[in-house]
């Protein structure tokens, strides 16, 4: 498969984005379309959170030239195969997944079905379609019980603390198997607490903002002594697009006697996508309060099952390989989110 060239001489690709009505998928598709690519979007529009928000994102995408839309589930292999056959993408960015650490403790079966079975279908379709590069979403949750910070892609991640984390670790291993067996170029991205406009209502910054504006109490776990590497959506999208164009080759320095988890003899790569700047939950709440000019009513609670004390991304490999430079401060990012929130919900 080959990219086509525009009259101006730039290359235009057909890119399949699964989970396109999701938070990251929506912003990624917008950027790809702005750059002149054709985006084939796929999403099942499940009701894990507000369907209306997903439909509003889709409405924006459908107004753009070059966007093609399929309502489909990656667990439906026949439908997925037909979309691949029809669209003939050069690149696939798999963002479709059942999200949520705490939700996975209550409903583990849905995570296996979507995140494992569904991802298996994506891999099979990519193999048969001879995709140039599969980029897939992993998660900082895979670091689990690992206490070494900052979290490095060169660390082993064998102690997940939730089924969600276990499914994301499974994705990494499955992708490596396909990369090794079929020379399918695969890159996994471990996202660290992505936030920003059009975000997910189940995320803390979203629910905290809503609660403060509604005068309701927010639950603050581990008495606010948690730290998260909040990463602004624009920085994340820039990283994904740059990685997409950096197709991995086998690492000739890789050795079985001392295996590097981040690379391989196969065309396979892992990266952290974070801000490299952990923020305490208590400080995070203060920033929201300042932006809203209101104080939060707090209900302090102990640590939740499945959660980790800190996420902190070592992004050195991403900096050296694609010149990744996250540039959005938590203050500016939260201000942008709250501005969008007020415009979307309060006008």
Q: Compute the distance between CA of residue 53 and CA of residue 344 in angstroms, rounded to an integer.
A: 10
* Residue among 135, 155, 322, 172 nearest 235 (CA): 322
Q: Compute the distance between CA of residue 205 and CA of residue 289 in angstroms, rounded to an integer.
A: 11
Q: Compute the distance between CA of residue 259 and CA of residue 69 in angstroms, rounded to an integer.
A: 41
Say if CB 97 and CB 48 are below 8 A apart: no
Query: Between helices 23-34 and 233-245, what is the axis angle to 10°?
Result: 60
- DSSP string of 85-129? HHH--SEEEE------HHHHHH-HHHHIIIIIIHHHHHHHHHHHH
Q: What's the gap between Cα 79 and its chain centre?
A: 23
Residue of 164, 232, 268, 271 marked active site: 164
Question: What phi-psi label fits residue 224: left (phi over 0), alpha (psi between -120 and 50 degrees) or beta?
Answer: left
Q: Could you confirm whether 232 is annotated as catalytic?
A: no
Q: Compute the distance between CA of residue 73 and CA of residue 92 in angstroms, rounded to an integer.
A: 15
* Residue among 200, 199, 203, 168 nearest 97 (CA): 168
Residues annotated catalytic, as ranges: 164
């Amino acid at each position: 498969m080959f990219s086509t060239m525009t009259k101006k001489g730039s290359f235009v690709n057909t890119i399949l984005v699964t989970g396109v009505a999701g938070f990251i998928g929506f912003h990624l598709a917008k950027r790809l379309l702005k750059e002149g690519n054709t985006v084939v979007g796929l999403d099942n529009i499940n009701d894990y959170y507000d369907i209306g928000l997903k439909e509003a994102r889709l409405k924006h995408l459908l107004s753009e030239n070059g966007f093609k839309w399929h309502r489909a589930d990656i667990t439906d292999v026949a439908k997925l195969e037909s979309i691949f056959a029809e669209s003939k993408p050069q690149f696939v960015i798999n963002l479709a997944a059942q999200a949520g650490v705490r939700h996975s403790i209550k409903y583990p079966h849905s995570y296996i079905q979507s995140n494992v079975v569904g991802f298996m279908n994506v891999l099979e379709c990519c193999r048969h379609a001879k995709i140039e590069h599969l980029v897939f979403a992993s998660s900082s949750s895979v670091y689990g019980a690992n206490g070494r910070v900052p979290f490095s892609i060169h660390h082993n991640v064998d102690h997940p603390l939730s089924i969600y984390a276990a499914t994301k670790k499974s994705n990494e291993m499955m992708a490596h198997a396909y990369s090794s067996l079929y020379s399918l170029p695969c890159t996994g991205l471990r996202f660290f607490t992505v936030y920003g406009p059009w975000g997910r209502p189940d995320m803390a910054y979203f629910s905290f903002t809503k609660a403060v504006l509604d005068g309701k109490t927010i639950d603050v776990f581990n008495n606010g002594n948690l730290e998260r590497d909040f990463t602004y959506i624009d920085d994340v999208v820039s990283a994904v697009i740059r990685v997409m164009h950096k197709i991995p080759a086998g690492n000739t320095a890789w050795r079985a006697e001392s295996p590097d988890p981040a690379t391989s003899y196969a065309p396979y790569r892992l990266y952290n996508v974070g801000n490299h700047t952990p923020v305490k939950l208590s400080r995070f709440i203060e920033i929201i309060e300042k932006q809203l000019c209101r104080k939060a009513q707090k209900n302090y609670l102990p640590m939740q099952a499945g959660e980790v004390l800190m996420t902190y991304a070592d992004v050195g490999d991403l900096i050296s390989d694609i010149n990744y430079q996250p540039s959005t401060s938590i203050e500016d990012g939260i201000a942008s989110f709250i501005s969008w929130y007020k415009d979307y919900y309060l006008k």
